[in-house]
Homo-oligomer: A and B are copies of this chain.
């Protein structure tokens, strides 16, 4: 076995308690002893056993991300991983470990309760895909430190954070207006696509503020696939007044939009401006490269990490907020108009 606290104590001619105090920076230890113990620890290449320490501490210095994984999520939802990287980053910085656990919503309540009660984890980051009323109640009763990523779509006590898509929509619209675009169309996901709808809300609120009139066909809803993006773009251009810019709710729609524009021989950005959201997966591949309003998922994760850590410290804390970092990444699909 490796070196234990007792080995160090013996070698330093002191007690385990003293060594412990040195490690934990107790004020009541003389400089002399501190130095001596530290030196011995170095010499012996001593490293405290975290698990034993945690057992005594009753904390595990661990937070687990509970989500529903499966084949292809790596490709279909890279955002989640981008976020995890951010989480890992802040957690690591504070000496915490990140456990990834995949499960179905039904399993989550038992899992969370149990691993909290046995102190296998100090806190939980719950992906919206695993939450349920039961989970909410249990967590509320036991005051389990947690943070849900994604606003719950039902009434709950959960602490949560989410991307403020409405705000991102506002940023998009404002940006286009600033560029000098005077009429803007929106091709979005279906009306059930919350992300798209929130982005639209934001866009509309800004356009209204600036009294930008929009013909009916300037807003379109459809599946988030290129084909639909293509069709919706045609719709948007079908009226007698062509919009000066099109906002696409996501990259897939933008892809279709580009194709339609290309086929109609309408030049981007000379004849029309195009703006979308997110960097992934096409923004830099499309020609011309897409101007997008991007939300940095890494930062979001990092922020979420900080938040759980705070909640772990103060379990009574209640957080329900939008974390947003929408930034406009200016590229060639839009331009400044005089």
Contact = CB atoms under 8 A, between A and B. Distances in A.
Interface of A: 2, 47-52, 54-55, 60, 62, 64, 69-75, 78-85, 88-89, 92, 97-103, 114-115, 117-120, 226, 252, 255, 279-282, 285, 296-298
B102 A99 contact: no
Contacts of A62: 99
Contacts of A48: 118
A120 B85 CA distance: 21
B80 A78 contact: no
Tallying the copies of this chain within the complex gives 2
Contact of A84 (B74, B75, B120, B298): B74
Given A74-B79, A97-B101, A69 B51 contact: no
B119 A49 contact: yes
Contacts of A70: 85
Nearest to A259: B287
A50 to B, nearest CB: 5
A74 B117 contact: no
11 contacts: A50-B115, A51-B118, A62-B99, A64-B97, A69-B88, A71-B298, A75-B82, A75-B280, A92-B101, A97-B101, A252-B285
Given A78-B78, A285-B226, A71 B51 contact: no
A292 to B, nearest CB: 13
A75 B279 contact: yes
Given A47-B114, A118-B48, A119-B49, A101 B85 contact: no
A171 to B, nearest CB: 20
B71 A117 contact: no
A226 B286 CA distance: 10
B69 A85 contact: yes
Contacts of A51: 51, 54-55, 60, 118-120
Contacts of A82: 71-75
A103 B85 CA distance: 11
Contacts of A119: 49, 51
Nearest to A118: B49
Contact of A92 (B50, B102, B115): B102
A255 to B, nearest CB: 6
A84 B83 CA distance: 15
Contact of A97 (B50, B84, B99, B282): B99
A70 B97 CA distance: 16
A72 B278 CA distance: 12
A268 B118 CA distance: 59
A85 B74 contact: yes
Given A51-B119, A52-B55, A72 B298 contact: yes
A141 to B, nearest CB: 13
Given A79-B74, A100-B100, A118 B88 contact: no
B102 A100 contact: no
A75 B114 CA distance: 34
A71 B100 contact: no
Given A88-B100, A88-B101, A102-B88, A75 B118 contact: no
